[in-house]
């Protein structure tokens, strides 16, 4: 082994004579697995065929398992997937204790697993909410991906946060597709999964062809003998003859109609589930085998270091101009309020229409402020909160943003919903605006105190959506 082998490799390596003879310059992309861990990968790869089939048959469309609960299959898939992932990770050595030792988030996996169960239970109890079907389906899958990345310790920053877009891309695209053939490799390839350098100590057992032929011939003879015995015994007992007739009638019906319908339906699903299972195993197995994200926050910082060009005064110009526009808007709004004696519209329907049209405009303005902060992290020489002047300016910017978000919430929930009532779409919009308000508050706090604001914001969004999803509306 190399002299500079790190502690993580020592934890997982079982040195064999072949490994000791490995060239010094050999580089491993993922973990070096012991024989026991390779067996775990093999069994997990086999089980992934079943998990993929459950997803295709019961996780996409109505399951039809129990009458009155058309989406029960999604809950079953969620429980099976989370349980298999937990066992797989534990057997490979990725425990919650190890995540904590590596200073990675060890609480988030449990949180996202809870979100998965809550959303799946909501599917089972209420089905899809009106106008929510697309968002439920997308966020359900996001919960799975984020759970896997958090559980395997492969989030770009070690926890959810500012790298959300990169984590999403890695979870949905990079990891599963880069490891799409890992399942075949794990099951059929001898030795190490990525090369022939390390070989298993347990030779593969070969099945004797003569044994297989003997079993097949024996079964055929047994079937012939049993059929002859049944034919003869039916003449000796009327009761046995009736049982025989019922059995053969059902067998005839099953083979002619039900059997082939069942076989064809499940055969198609089985074929479709093969790439789906490979994708799922690529996501989980690939994350565990690689043991680190494909793109880390350190890589992002190094790649964007050359973009940190803008001096502090550019922030004064950009953010100062935006704050000036916001101040003009606020002054105009106050003037309108005074001129109309506190009324912005002559009738309630007109007020509701204005409230609805201004809601998304205000939300888009607030989101633009978040984009300004994100761009400053990439293009400014220093983050806005690192210098006193820019920190104060950023605080003013997000005080305006918080005010706009509160105005949007009042327009939606105080005016529009107050007049027309709640609907699923308005509940979803309210969830959006309340999260935006929370994000503004978290970011203002982050300017003055080092807290994981982005991580808290993402967890808050995931948990709040899952809880709201549990209600019937």
Give the position of tokens 């309020």: 337
* Burial bucket for residue 338 (CB in 10 Å: 0-12, 13-18, 19+): exposed
Tell me what the mean pLDDT of segment 140-155 comes to.
Answer: 96
Phi and psi at 24, nearest 5°, equal: -65, -25
* Token pair in block for residue 434: 């309340």
Residues in the chain: 473
Instruction: Between 263 and 73, name the one with better pLDDT.
Output: 73
Q: Answer yes or no: is pLDDT of 1 > 60.
A: no
| Band of pLDDT at residue 419, cut at 50, 70 and 90 | confident
Asked whether residue 284 is domain-assigned, the answer is no
180's CB contacts (< 8 A; 6+ apart) are 275, 278, 279, 282
% of the chain at pLDDT higher than 70: 77
Instruction: State residue 26's pLDDT score.
Output: 40
Domain's final residue, options 294, 326, 360: 294
Contact status, residue 55 vs residue 284, Cβ threshold 8 Å? no
Number of domains in the chain: 2
Cα-flanking dihedrals φ and ψ of residue 310, to 5°? -75, 130
Return mean pLDDT, the chain: 81
CA dist., res. 180 & res. 429, Å (int): 37
Domain contains 246: no
Q: What is the pLDDT of residues 427-457, one digit of tens each?
A: 988 999 999 999 999 999 999 999 999 999 9
Query: What pTM value is reported for the model?
Result: 0.77
For 4, how many CA atoms within 13 A lie in the half-sphere containing its CB?
Answer: 4
pLDDT of residue 350: 64
Q: Is residue 266 one of the residues assigned to a domain?
A: no
Could you tell me what percent of the chain has a pLDDT over 90? 37
Does 230 map to a domain? no
What is the tens place of the pLDDT at every residue in 10-30?
333 433 444 444 444 444 556
Q: Which long-range contacts (CB under 8 A, 24 or more apart) does 380-385 make?
A: 380/308, 380/310, 380/311, 380/312, 380/314, 380/315, 381/308, 381/309, 381/310, 381/311, 381/312, 382/308, 382/312, 384/315, 384/319, 384/447, 385/446, 385/447, 385/448
Among 260, 294, 328, residue at a domain's last position: 294
Q: Which residues of 127-150 are buried (b: 16+ CB within 10 A; e: fewer)?
A: ebbeebeebbeebbebbbbbbbbb
In a domain, 434, yes or no: yes
pLDDT value at residue 258: 62
- Asked if the model's pLDDT at residue 152 lies above 80, the reply is yes
| Boundary (domain end) residue, out of 269, 294, 319 | 294
Does residue 48 lie in a domain region?
Answer: yes
Same domain, 197 and 316: no
Do 313 and 427 share a domain, yes or no? yes
Q: State the residue range of the domain holding 333.
A: 308-469
Query: How many C-beta atoms surround the C-beta of residue 202 within 10 A?
Result: 10
pLDDT given at position 10: 34
Is residue 343 pLDDT above 70, yes or no?
no
pLDDT at 225 over 80: no
Same structural domain for residues 164 and 27?
Answer: yes
The predicted structure's pLDDT at residue 16 = 40
pLDDT attached to residue 204: 42
Region 183-193: mean pLDDT is 76
Q: Are residues 455 and 312 in the same domain?
A: yes
Q: What is the pLDDT of residues 302-311, one digit of tens each?
A: 888 888 888 8
Query: Does residue 76 lie in a domain region?
Result: yes
């Amino acid at each position: 082994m190399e002299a500079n082998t790190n502690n993580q490799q020592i934890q997982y390596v079982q040195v064999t004579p072949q490994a000791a003879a490995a060239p010094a310059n050999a580089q491993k992309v993922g973990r070096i697995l012991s024989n026991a861990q390779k067996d775990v990968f093999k069994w997990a790869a086999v089980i992934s065929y079943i998990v993929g089939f459950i997803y295709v048959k019961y996780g996409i469309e109505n399951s039809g398992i129990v009458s009155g609960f058309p989406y029960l299959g999604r809950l079953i898939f969620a429980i099976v997937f989370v349980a298999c992932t937990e066992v797989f990770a534990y057997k490979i050595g990725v425990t919650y204790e190890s995540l904590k030792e590596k200073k990675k988030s060890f609480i988030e996996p449990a949180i996202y697993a809870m979100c998965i169960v809550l959303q799946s239970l909501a599917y089972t109890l209420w089905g899809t909410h009106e106008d929510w079907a697309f968002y439920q389906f997308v966020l359900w899958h996001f919960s799975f991906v984020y759970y896997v990345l958090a559980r395997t310790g492969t989030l770009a920053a070690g926890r959810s946060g500012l790298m959300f877009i990169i984590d999403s891309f890695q979870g949905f695209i990079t990891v599963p597709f880069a490891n799409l053939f890992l399942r075949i490799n794990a099951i059929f390839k001898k030795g190490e999964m990525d090369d022939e350098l390390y070989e298993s100590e347990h030779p593969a057992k070969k099945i004797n062809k003569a044994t297989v032929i003997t079993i097949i011939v024996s079964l055929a003879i047994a079937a012939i003998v049993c059929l002859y015995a049944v034919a003869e015994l039916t003449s000796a007992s009327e009761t046995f003859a009736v049982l025989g007739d019922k059995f053969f009638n059902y067998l005839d019906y099953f083979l002619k109609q039900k059997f082939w319908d069942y076989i064809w339906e499940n055969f198609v699903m089985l074929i479709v589930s093969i790439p789906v299972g490979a994708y799922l195993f690529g996501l989980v197995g690939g994350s565990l085998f690689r043991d680190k994200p494909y793109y880390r926050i350190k890589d992002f910082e190094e790649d964007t270091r050359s973009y940190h060009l803008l001096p502090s005064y550019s922030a004064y110009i950009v953010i100062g101009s935006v704050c000036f526009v916001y101040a003009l808007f606020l002054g105009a709004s106050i003037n309108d309020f005074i001129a109309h004696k506190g009324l912005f519209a002559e009738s309630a329907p007109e007020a509701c229409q204005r409230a609805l049209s201004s809601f998304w405009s205000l939300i888009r303005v607030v989101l633009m402020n978040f984009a300004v902060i994100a761009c400053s992290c990439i293009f400014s020489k220093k983050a806005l909160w690192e210098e006193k002047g820019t920190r104060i300016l950023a605080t003013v910017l997000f005080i305006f943003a918080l005010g706009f978000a509160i105005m949007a919430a009042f327009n939606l929930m105080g005016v529009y919903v107050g007049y027309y009532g709640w609907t699923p779409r308005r509940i979803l919009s309210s969830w959006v605006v309340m999260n935006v308000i929370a994000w503004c508050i978290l970011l203002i706090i982050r300017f003055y105190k080092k807290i994981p604001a982005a991580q808290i914001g993402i967890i808050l969004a995931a948990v709040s959506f899952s809880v709201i999803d549990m209600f019937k509306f």
